[in-house]
Structures are given as structure tokens and as C-alpha cells.
Amino acid sequence: MDYPTVVHGWIGQLEAFLLPYVTAGAIALDGRGHLTMHDREHVARVRQVASNLIAQSSSIDLTHYELTLLLIAIYLHDIGNILGRTGHERRIHEVLTAAGANLPVDQIEYATAKQIAGVHGGLVNGSKDTISTLQEKPAVYGEHVRLRLLSAILRLADELADDPARANRVQLAAGALPPESEIYHVVASGLHSQMPDIGSREITLNFTFHDPDLFKRKLGKGEGQVYLLEEIFDRSMKTFNEARYCSRFMRPYLEFERVKVDIMIFDDRLEPLHNIVYTIAEHGYGDQCLSIYEMAPELCAYNGNGKLTPAYLERLIVTAEKERA
């Protein structure tokens, strides 16, 4: 079979007739505010990040067959959202059947790609350890396919595929976002770069915000509210945990040990007010630490003072603003 030709034809069909409606479907069925975008631009970003990860390893040497199955899985991984966010990774077949978007591969290959896509999140038997449920290297038509490796690449690429394009910047600028979705769009709008570097085994997250007031008040999240700094802390910890988890299945080809976070805060004249930099890594014996302050000790005595909390950051911003006045 001429895989590149038939697969790219199928991708074109998805991009034209299915992916544009995934985000709207999730919003309509969940009724939980405005989800960040799960459209073809997001899928293209996941594809780009996955390609970057693969290109950084000189020894990974994926076969053309593995690359084809990974590409199909990337386009499958989020389509279940059109029927609602909860359990979307398990609704791939239901969506494809309803859309009549039959895959240009047979059932064995489809089932293999669906397995790769189906463990990019969610739970299996109540556990987030979804990749371990897959066979490590099953044979498909006489070729060994490294299922766990491919699944880990897709899962990490999806984690690193947030960027300003996922935010509804018009509603955000107009203050028209539903309160329960506000924080997700603010974070996406500021997270402009997520850079994995295999040489240093480090992933860098770069945030830029041009409205310091975002750090002075709580923002809507679900049924409650959180400070933006707290959300960035949570998000960077999630990225660290996902990177460590996926590294377990990508060794010896890819492994990441640290997440470096760089947050630039500007005033309304685009003059820098404050820059926060910290690195999340394992420390000491390696016991599991749940606190951002344990994982990034520089946040405990920030600038030689106490913990960097939302209240302390607000004081730093206000001081900087007064010095500019």
C-alpha cells in the first residue's frame, strides 16, 4: 500500500469535515464553559512537537510503518471530544463511525493506532498509568511496533502543544469568556514556547503576560477561582510529571529530568516589570514531593526572602509599577 498517499488523503478529510467541529461539540455537550481549542491547528502543533522530539534523538530510528501509525494516532487522539470531554480517548471508534471517516488501513492497523491514541490521557482501571497497559513491542504484519514508545511520544507531544493559538483571544480581550474557563485561556495565551532539549534533558516553558493585573486577582476555574501564579505552578508540575512518566517508556532514546519555567511580566507599555525563573527537578533521595516549593527550592526563599506566593508577587509588581510612575 502507498501509505503516504492514502493517509494524507484521509487526513485532508478529517481536517475538512471533522476537526473543525471537535471543540464546539465538546463545549455543547459538557456545558462547562469554553474549552481551549482542540482543532486542526492543535493537531498540527502536536504533530510538529512529536517530529521535533523524534528529530532530536539520533538513535530512535522509527520505521516508516511506526511513523505512519503514530501519524494516524496523532489525528485520532482528540476527536472523541466532539462527543464530550470525559472519556474522549475511549470514543475514537464511535466518532469515526458516526462521521463515516473510515481509515485507509485495515482493522489490525487501525486497532494498533487507536491503542496509541487511547492512552494519551484518562484512566485505565482507575490509574493514570495508561501506557503500561500496552504491549511493549507487538508484531503487526511482520514488523515490530514499539507501542509504548510511540504512545509516550504522542502523550508528551500533546502535553507540550499548548500555545496562544489554543486561546480564544477575542473573547479573552473582550472579557466575554465564561468564568469557569477563564484561567485556561489566560494560561494558553501567555504560554508561547515549550522547548524540549534532549541534550540537557530539560523542557523550558516560556510565559509572557502584558497585563500585570492578571496576577493581582483570582481568575475563574471550574466552579471556583485561583490565582494565575498558582495555576502556572500547577501546570508546570503537571508538565514535569508527564515528562518523567513518558521518559520511562522513551528510554534510552529520549529522557527529560527537569522543567525550567520563565515568566515575563510586562506593563501596558511593554516595559518589563518582573521576571520569574525556576526549575522543577527531583532533589535529595528522590522521595515523591507534591509541593512546587519542594521541587523548585528557589521559590522557597525567593529573592532572598520568603516563599513566592500570589500575595508576595503582587507586592513585587506594585512596587515595580510605583517605581515606573
Domain CATH for 20? 1.10.3210.10
173 shares its domain with 275: yes
181 and 269 housed in the same domain: yes
Query: According to the model, what pLDDT value does residue 298 have?
Result: 94
CB atoms closer than 10 angstroms to residue 35: 20
pLDDT digits (tens, 9 = 90+) for 233-268: 999 999 999 999 999 999 999 999 999 999 999 998
Q: Please say if the pLDDT value at position 27 is more than 70.
A: no
Looking at residue 1, its pLDDT comes to 47
Least confident span in 101-115, 220-234, 291-305:
101-115
Tell whether 8 and 144 lie within a shared domain.
Answer: yes
Count how many domains the chain has. Answer: 2
**Identity of the amino acid at 303:** N
Beta-bridge partners for 127: 124
pLDDT of residue 133 exceeding 50, the answer is: yes
Q: Pick from 97, 127, 159: which residue ends a domain? A: 159
Q: Give percent of the chain above pLDDT 70.
A: 90
Query: Which residues is 196 bridged to in the sheet?
Result: 203
74 & 36 share domain: yes
Predicted local distance difference test score (pLDDT) of residue 85: 67
Q: What is the pLDDT of residue 260?
A: 98
Q: Which of 99, 131, 159 lies at the terminal end of a domain, its last residue?
A: 159
pLDDT band at residue 110 using 50, 70 and 90 as cut-offs: confident
Q: What percent of the chain has pLDDT over 90?
A: 57
For the segment 213-240, the average pLDDT, to the nearest whole number, is: 96
Phi, psi of 35 (to 5 degrees): -65, 145
Q: For residues 203 and 152, state if they share a domain.
A: no
* 122: DSSP letter: S
Please check the confidence at residue 23 and state whether its pLDDT lies above 80: no
What is the average pLDDT score of the chain?
A: 88
Residue 142: pLDDT over 60: yes
What is the per-residue pLDDT for 108? 87
Q: Choose one of 105, 140, 159: the last residue of a domain.
A: 159
Q: Assess whether pLDDT exceeds 50 at residue 213.
A: yes
**Are 171 and 294 found together in one domain?**
yes
Torsion of CA 266, 269, 270, 274, to 10 degrees: -30
Judge contact between 299 and 313, C-beta under 8 A: no
Span 105-109, mean pLDDT? Answer: 82
pLDDT computed for residue 32 by the predictor: 56
Are both 215 and 69 inside the same structural domain?
no
Q: Is 143 left (phi over 0), alpha (psi -120 to 50) or beta?
A: beta
User: Residues 144, 219: one domain?
Assistant: no
pLDDT score for 49: 96
Residue 173 has pLDDT above 90, yes or no: no
Q: Are strands 143-144 and 191-197 parallel, antiparallel or unpaired?
A: unpaired
53 burial level (CB within 10 Å; 0-12, 13-18, 19+): buried
pLDDT digits 0-9 by tens, 78-96: 887 777 666 767 787 787 7
Q: Does residue 97 surpass a pLDDT of 80?
A: no
Residue 101 has pLDDT above 70, yes or no: no
Residues 125, 235 within the same domain: no
Task: Tell me the three cell numbers of residue 193.
Answer: 514556547
Residue type (1 letter), 207: F
| Greatest mean pLDDT among 104-118, 269-283, 288-302 | 269-283
Burial 138-172, CB ≥16 within 10 A → b, else e: eebeeeebbbbbbbbbbbbbbbbbbbebbbbeeeb
Query: Rounded mean pLDDT of 48-77?
Result: 93
Mean pLDDT of 151-158: 97
Spacing of C-alpha 189 from chain mean position: 14
Domain span at 61: 3-159
Same domain, 138 and 207: no
pLDDT digits (tens, 9 = 90+) for 286-303: 666 678 998 999 999 998
Joined together, the cell numbers standing for residue 254 give 529520549
* Radius of gyration over every alpha carbon of the chain, rounded to an integer in angstroms: 21
For residues 208 and 100, state if they share a domain: no
Residues 96 and 175 in one domain: no
Q: Are 54 and 62 in contact (CB under 8 A)?
A: yes
Ranking 106-110, 127-131, 154-158, 218-222 by mean pLDDT, the lowest is 106-110
Q: Which residues, 6+ apart, have CB-to-CB distance to 11 below 8 Å?
A: 71, 75
Contact yes or no for 85/181 (Cβ under 8 A): no
